[in-house]
Amino acid sequence: MKRIINCRFMRLLLGSLLVLTLSGCWDRVEIDERGFVVGVAIDLSKADRSKEVREAPDKPRGKNLYSVTYQFVVPSALSSRGDQAAGSQDRGFHNLTSQGDEMAQIKREIAVRASRSPYFEHLKVIVVSEEVAKKGFADILDFYIRDPGMRRETKVMISKGEARRVLELVPRTEKVNAMYIDSITKNQKENARMLPETRIGDIHEHLLREESYVVQRIVGQGDGVKVAGAAIMDGKTNTFVGFLGEEETEGLNYLNAKIKGGIVNFKLDGRLSNFENEQTSRTIRADVSDPMRPKFHVRISAEGSLAETFSSRDLTKLKTIDEIEEIIANEIVRLAQDTIRKMQKEFGKDVAGFGDKLRQDHYRVWKQIEPDWEHGRRLFAASEITVEAKVKLRRYGTINKAKMTR
């Protein structure tokens, strides 16, 4: 009996000691104590720092002073109920702006002004002004990439103009500005002039590989925003190089086979018509017989339907359909060639995967010319690139004549 009691006592003692080794939820923060940040805008500050320098001349300082805006969700304004005095037009967000040399410092500055500590797990968008991107895009993203509370799905965009203005717009269809912007980035299937969503996780991979890449462009317009066009980033310096226009972005999407939908305008008998793209693919062939002047041939295939036409042409004739397919193919080639011309002649940056093709299929040649691909002898700019397109109309319909099956 005494032995049984001793065994029970030892088990109880051992269990008590094991409890002491458990960490538990020592860092738990209640959900109603968190400040959910859904949007961040990063600009260069124009503040005068002379007084600060006089007061603390030996204080370590960065090269640039940033102005960063956090957009916090206001949960009470999102409730479908709530008191009537609030009204249906209450904003579901609150913006706070602070300044500093680095992102970690700014987060702590905002924490002493906000009723709830900033929390990034639900961060939807980071908007960076083109001025900041020119100074060092990777530098300001470093903090967000390292933050353990960040999700790699967070969208990143470059604003043409001040980034803060984008987060200050009050949309009519949404109560939270950042949610409104996040929803727009998912509409690429409706417009080929928009890049696929640029996620911070994807940018991190580009930074590790030191390859040039593109980021979605956002522009404030009236009481809303427009997400179209692309910002080109240099993979070596991690800085903003310049913008691709909307048509050039469409051409880039064809070159990268990133088309999810959208319309191609063309003329038939001098009158406008529209081709609705439903499926796209592309292949690249590389010729490295002269490693110092690689040659590439891009073949783009597109399938879709005739969305609209003002022409009175008889669409039941195969000859007419073949002619329309050729006209559309020529327009796709024009879009792609305009983009290639700008990439090579103006920016000298390969954001269409030609270097990747060499790395995959001609690795030894690629390792030889990689240092001079975009810099040094700028071999990408000197490369010969040709494009062809093949279009298939799956549905074209008629108004006065019966549709013919092909």
Which residue among 196, 225, 244 closes a domain? 244
| Domain membership flag for residue 220 | yes
**84-108 tens-digit pLDDT:** 444 445 678 999 999 998 999 999 9
pLDDT at 269: 85
Residue 398 has pLDDT above 80, yes or no: no
User: Which residue from 65, 88, 92, 89 is spatially nearest to 76, judged by alpha carbons?
Assistant: 92
Residues 232 and 255 in one domain: no
Residues 360 and 262 in one domain: yes
| Domain membership flag for residue 191 | yes
Residues 94 and 223 in one domain: yes
* Run of H or E including 389: strand 384-395
Q: Can you tell me the mean pLDDT for 100-127?
A: 90
pLDDT at 117: 84
Residues 235 and 367 in one domain: no
Which residue among 244, 265, 289 closes a domain? 244
Q: How many contiguous H segments (helices) and E segments (strands) does the chain have?
A: 13, 13
| Domain membership flag for residue 16 | no
Q: In this predicted structure, which of 11-15, 147-151, 374-378 has the lowest mean pLDDT?
A: 11-15
Alpha carbons 256 and 343: distance in angstroms, whole number: 13
Q: In this predicted structure, which of 4-8, 239-243, 276-280, 387-391 has the lowest mean pLDDT?
A: 4-8
Residues 204 and 257 in one domain: no
Residues 271 and 231 in one domain: no
Q: Can you tell me the mean pLDDT for 300-317?
A: 84
Residues 264 and 294 in one domain: yes
| Domain membership flag for residue 238 | yes
**19-36 tens-digit pLDDT:** 555 555 545 555 555 788
The model's pTM: 0.84
Percent of residues, the chain, with pLDDT higher than 90:
54
pLDDT at 403: 43
pLDDT at 82: 44
Residues 269 and 177 in one domain: no
| Domain membership flag for residue 226 | yes
Q: Can you tell me the mean pLDDT for 332-354?
A: 96
Q: Which segments within 101-212 are labelled E, that is strand?
A: 117-119, 125-129, 155-159
Domains contained in the chain, number: 2
Letter string b/e over residues 152-183, b meaning 16 or more CB atoms within 10 A of that residue's CB: eebbbbbbbebbbbbbbeebeebbbbbbbbbe
**164-221 tens-digit pLDDT:** 999 998 888 888 999 999 999 988 888 899 999 999 999 999 999 999 999 999 998 8
| Domain membership flag for residue 317 | yes
- Phi, psi of 362, rounded to the nearest 5 degrees: -140, 65
| Residue partners of 326: CB distance under 8 A and separation at least 6 | 391
Which residue among 244, 272, 287 closes a domain? 244
pLDDT at 310: 80
Residue 44 has pLDDT above 90, yes or no: yes
Confidence of residue 51 (pLDDT cuts 50, 70, 90): low
Alpha carbons 120 and 124: distance in angstroms, whole number: 9
Q: In this predicted structure, which of 145-154, 205-214, 225-234, 342-351 has the lowest mean pLDDT?
A: 145-154
Q: Decide: helix, strand or coil at residue 346.
A: helix
Q: Decide: helix, strand or coil at residue 3.
A: helix
Residues 182 and 294 in one domain: no
Q: How far is CA 52 from CA 45, 58, 63, 179, 183, in A?
A: 14, 10, 15, 37, 41
Comparison of pLDDT for 63 and 154, the residue scoring more: 154
| Radius of gyration of the CA atoms of the chain, in A | 28
Residues 312 and 388 in one domain: yes
| Domain membership flag for residue 18 | no
Confidence of residue 251 (pLDDT cuts 50, 70, 90): very high
Alpha carbons 350 and 340: distance in angstroms, whole number: 9
pLDDT at 88: 43
| Domain membership flag for residue 25 | no
Residues 275 and 357 in one domain: yes
**58-89 tens-digit pLDDT:** 666 667 889 999 999 988 777 655 444 444 45
pLDDT at 404: 43
269 sits in the region (left: phi over 0; alpha: psi -120 to 50; else beta) called: left
Residue 35 bridge partners (DSSP): 118
Residues 201 and 265 in one domain: no
Confidence of residue 381 (pLDDT cuts 50, 70, 90): very high
Residue 1 has pLDDT above 70, yes or no: no
User: Residue 190 belongs to what domain range?
Assistant: 31-46+63-79+89-244
pLDDT at 21: 59
Percent of residues, the chain, with pLDDT higher than 70:
83
Can you state the percent helix, strand and coil of the chain, rounding each to 5? Answer: 35, 30, 35
pLDDT at 124: 94
* Run of H or E including 310: none
Alpha carbons 31 and 292: distance in angstroms, whole number: 59
Give the CATH number, domain containing residue 347: 3.30.300.210
